[in-house]
Structure 1
Amino acid sequence: MRKTLVAMLPLAVSAALCLTSLPALADAAGPAVVAKADQRLWPEPVNTQNGFDKASRASLLSYVLVLQGMQKLSDADMLTSFKIKSLNRVSVEKWLKKEFEFSLLNYQRASKTCVSTDWTCVGNPGNTSDLLKKAADWNQNIPQDLLPWRDNLSRFSHAYIAEQLRLAALFPKVSSEIDRFNDREWNGDAFEDRQFLLTFDDGPTAGNGTTDDTLRMLETNKRSAIFFVLGENFQNRSSKSSAAAMAGLYQNQCVASHGWEHQSHAKWEQWQDSIKRTHALLNTTFAKDTVYPYFRPPYGQRKADSGTFFQEQGLQVALWNLDSQDWNSHVTPDDIINRMITLMLIKRHGIMLFHDIHPKAKSALPVMFDALGKAVDWRDCHKAP
């Protein structure tokens, strides 16, 4: 056991070595190495609050140790690892501080269902330092049969934190969902414990495509989501049907804007027209007051000084904090199930990003609904944010 810990836990060095394998990325691209987990290594169901909380406690104790190691990465480590030319250390430290604070809060929340004989219960840590100390002690006494789970979660945490640190290092030069510019932007951080909202981007597809399949899946499972539609796609489909058909397509769901075209609204000269044009189209298609006053920027990219424009338009910027990576060709539906449930155990609340132009979510989500049972609350899209 001790030898294994020595190999795992001086993470400032091991993380840097691990991350140097990341190839260069375009600013708007997703991660080169997608964090993947294997929830099958966790031996107990997570479909009740007690089961969810136990798995959450264990996941958080492992996660914060990796987070502690990644915190030790120097600027040089990150510049080399992330293949970037400059980084914003203030932004990196801000993200790390927030992540430690949320991890502490989430462990405290998960501890409300603790019992004295539970090996995932380490007391009620009052601060981050206390949590890290308890996590280090806990890590030396993990049941032998759960070491494969711990090692798998550690690898997942390394890759996931690398995804987030790269975004933080680039912010605000390259804006993303990693941080907010003002209070008119929201990302799910303020949701209540074990509360999650489904969102889908980039649709609609042509008739009888994956958008239709996704909507039927949600209806069957009695779930709702916000669909952030691209004006161009919406107009193309609407021109082949009717406004009434489009309104009926999204019945019982929520519709908001993703802009007219899928390009960065931080660099596009016509970004304001993109937003106005899309909202005008939606407002002529749907009944009054049924189009939600949200805009989700493609790639999460928007101008730092755009707050005044959104306020004048009566809009809020809708970000996310749980990315399924379902658009990625290297990610399977099974990867999505494992990734998202693992993130739900660590984050314990938030906004999930999927894409209805891709088919993976329609098969992954029903499995997630079943696996999680009544352990979490799937938020009604009509009550967002």
Structure 2
Amino acid sequence: MRIALIFCAWLLCSAAVAVPNEPATLDRSTWPEQLNSPALFDVASRAEILTFAHALLASEALDDNALKQRLNLKVINIDEIDSLRRKLWLRLLANYNFAQQSCDQDASFCYYVDDMDSLREQAGKFEVADDSFYAAWAEPAREFHRRYLDEQLRMAALFPQISSEIGLFGDHEFNGDEMNDRLFMLTFDSGPTQSPGNTDWLTDYLRKQSISATFFVLGNSLQARLDKSSEAAVKALYQGQCVGVQGWEYRSHSHWQDWQASILRSLALVKQGVPQNYVPLFRPPYGQRRADSAGFFESQGVKVALWDIDSQDMAGGMTAEQSAQRVLSLMLLWRHGVIAFHDTQDKVRSALPWLLKATAQSGLGWADCAKPL
């Protein structure tokens, strides 16, 4: 019976899913100003919010068939799409209200917005003139936000049959939505690498920057690292950082019969190997987990840690700089949240320093990984 159910689920997904487009990225060199003050961060933030809101409003004019064609899907969950749109509008309104608090310092992209109706009105008529100081940014930004919106709508269209970071299954999960304005959480998946490797470089770099992050480790990778070194070496590796789990192997935990064993085995290894760094968090590979798993996670005192800013650093066609630029664009749009990188990817050695340099004077904060959100 279990095999039959899994096979039916596979058939449903296969019928619904076609190949997604390449992840969206935006060349930040088209933006004419450095983000070297909180006010200039807000200027860029207002511009990204209005551009995304314009794309979101335009998408609402599409009927179901047009939306299927645009998302390259045969079947869509329109209720989830509508639910996502409502959530996006609420967050855009809150974010624009934060971003316009510095309009007395720089009025660029400051428009009358005090409620949802006025935000939708401004989004509908938003455009950047051809002779504007920001003209070179406008068209690339429109394309970026249309493609990024499609990424979000596509995940919603498939949810919950294919689970992802787009939606929560309960209070035992979080994705960064409730964080304070200008506060971001750095996370890294799929490590550790073997020594010497990206994980070694990254943890050392973060310590030098006085920043902490959460590393979601794979049990088999951590075990391999312990086997080739020692517990003392692994403790030194993660000094000042936090360690959660991603399961024993990088595999979807939504239809895996042994998903609970995968998590429990990894939790036990982390608690034994790096007890001072352990945080009770599980990061599901691909964002995929079971909708009925709340009881299990609550019994273990573990939360499901999703994300709302995806670097897409595992995408084959994405360069390190494009990944960093994508993250920065989404930081400007969402103004707070959980950023997902992979310490198994060489790109992180260039992407993270670029990102920290670009935001160093923007008035942002990096969350302490050891403090509950």
Confirm whether residue 122 of structure 1 aligns to residue 139 of structure 2: no
Structure 1 residue matching 2:135: 3-state secondary structure: helix
- The residue matched to 2:32 in structure 1 has which SS? coil
Amino acid at match of 1:38: D
Deviation at 1:115, TM superposition (A): 2.0
Judge conservation of contact 1:217–1:362 (CA < 8 Å) in 2. Answer: no
**Cα distance in structure 2, aligned partners of 1:68 and 1:312:** 42
Shift of 1:86: 1.7
| 1:280 paired residue number | 268
Give the Cα–Cα distance (whole angstroms) in 2 for the partners of residues 346 and 71 of structure 1: 20
Q: How does 1:162-177 map to 2 (within 5 A)?
A: 162-177=150-165
Q: TM-score, normalised to structure 2's length?
A: 0.92
Q: Which residue of 2 aligns with 1:107?
A: 96
The one of 188, 200, 203 aligned to 1:212: 200
**Identical pairs, percent:** 40
In structure 1, what is the Cα distance between the partners aligned to 2:134 and 2:337? 28
How much has 1:217 moved relative to structure 2? 1.9
Match of 2:237 in 1: 249
| AA matched with 2:370 | H
Which deviates more, 179-188 or 81-90? 81-90
* Alpha-carbon separation, structure 1, partners of 2:40 and 2:71: 36
How far 1:221 moved relative to its partner? 2.0
**Shift, 1:358, TM fit:** 0.4
Deviates more, 1:187-196 or 1:129-138: 129-138
SS in structure 1 at match of 2:110? coil
- After TM superposition, the score normalised by the length of structure 1 is 0.89
Q: Is the contact between residue 32 and residue 133 of structure 2 (CA under 8 Å) also seen in structure 1?
A: no
Q: How does 1:177-326 map to 2 (within 5 A)?
A: 177-287=165-275, 290-326=277-313
> CA–CA distance in 1 between the matches of 2:196 and 2:272?
23
- SS of corresponding position for 2:290: coil
* Structure 1 segments unaligned to the other structure (5+ residues): 1-23
Q: What corresponds to 1:350 in structure 2?
A: 337
**How far apart are the structure 1 equivalents of 2:329 and 2:365?**
16
Shift of 1:28: 9.9
Corresponding residue for residue 369 of structure 2:
381
Q: Taking structure 1 as reference, are residues 253 and 28 closer, same or farther at Cα in structure 2, changes over 3 Å only?
A: farther
Contact 2:31 2:137 in 1 (8 A): yes
Going from structure 1 to structure 2, the CA distance change for 1:116 and 1:383 (only over 3 Å counts) comes to closer
Give the superposed CA RMSD: 2.1
Given candidates 2, 21, 34, the residue that maps to 1:45 is: 34
Other structure's SS at 2:228 match: coil
Letter in 1 for 2:296: F
Q: 1:141 and 1:85 mapped to 2: Cα distance? A: 38
Q: Is the 8 A contact 2:184 2:365 kept in 1?
A: yes
Does residue 148 of the first structure (1) align with residue 140 of the second (2)?
Answer: no
1:231-265 Cα shifts (integer Å, max 9, x gaps): 01110111111111111110000000000011110
Residue 185 of structure 2 aligns to a residue whose secondary structure is strand
Q: Shift of the alpha carbon at 1:187? A: 0.5
Q: CA deviation at 1:75?
A: 1.9
Instruction: Specify the alignment match of 2:6 in structure 1.
Output: none
Deviation at 1:100, TM superposition (A): 1.0
Residue correspondences, number: 360
Whether the 8 Å CA contact 2:16–2:74 is kept in 1: the answer is no
SS of 2:160 mapped into structure 1 = coil
Quick one: which amino acid aligns to residue 247 of structure 2?
Answer: G
Q: Is 1:359 aligned with 2:340?
A: no
Q: Residues 31, 379 of structure 1: CA spacing in aligned structure 2 closer, same or farther, 3 A cutoff? A: farther
